[in-house]
Amino acid sequence: MMFKRMKSDIQAVFDNDPAARSWFEVIFTYSGLHAIWSHRMAHAFYRRRLFTIARIISQTSRFFTGIEIHPGARIGNRLFIDHGMGVVIGETCEIGDDVVIYQGVTLGGSGKEKGKRHPTIGNNVVIGSGAKILGSFKIGDQSNIGANSVVLKEVPSESTVVGIPGKVVRLRGKPLDRLSHQLPDPVIDSMKALQHQIEELQSEIADLKGKGQLRQEHVTSE
């Protein structure tokens, strides 16, 4: 059973990374694969309440791979972590089958609450580089989380999420009204605010000039 699962982990690398050339290369050079295998060992000790040993294994793995997976996290089959440096997966996080995670992803909590405080990731989910998913909610099956998105609430199945905070822009293959180019842009918003202030100042100057001319005409007539 263990070797069968390891074989499926290796196959997941070939299925998701066109740069993978051989089993030897994958087994000895893919840090994401090493992190997953180390986590399985740490999780086994964690379930037996040998928490210190579990943490030592996970921290050792973090040192060598740059990927931090808490021993309490539950990970499904065929997880693929690509260029995994900076990936953080919290204690109560649950990850389904056939999930792809890229570098810099955080599956974390949003506070100091007890109990379930990390996200649940469904099956066949792709999480882009630098994305942050924070809180105890579910990311539905077959969803895509855009790079650098910050997701703070539940995402339905077959969704595409982008932005800060993350917003659903596609649902079941159909685009929604809130397209990515319509998401708030702080630079554009600042320019619009400045333009509005300039127009108000120009209007006030025009009013002052008009009042000055009236006074001048009044003095001249006298």
**pLDDT band at residue 215, thresholds of 50, 70 and 90?**
low
In angstroms, the CA 90 to CA 73 distance is: 6
Positive or negative: CA dihedral 148, 153, 158, 161: negative
Residue 135 has pLDDT above 80, yes or no: yes
**Three-state DSSP state, 64:** helix
Supply 50's token pair. 């040998």
Residues 118 and 92: beta-carbon distance below 8 Å: yes
pLDDT at residue number 109: 86
The share of the chain scoring above pLDDT 90, in percent, equals: 45
Q: Bigger pLDDT: 206 or 148?
A: 148
Compare 138 and 216 and report the one with higher pLDDT: 138
Largest CA distance in the chain: 106
Nearest to 30 by CA among 12, 50, 48: 12
Query: The whole model's pTM is what?
Result: 0.71
CB within 8 A of 77, min separation 6: which ones?
Answer: 5, 8, 97, 98
Query: What is the per-residue pLDDT for 164?
Result: 84
Residue 201: per-residue pLDDT: 85
First vs last C-alpha separation in the chain: 106
Residues 26-53 have pLDDT tens digits of 999 899 999 999 999 999 999 999 999 9
Pure H helices in the chain: 2-16, 23-29, 31-47, 51-65, 186-221
For residue 28, count CB atoms less than 10 angstroms from its CB and return exposed for 0-12, middle for 13-18, buried for 19 or more.
exposed
Query: How sure is the predictor about 179, in pLDDT bands with cuts at 50, 70 and 90?
Result: very low
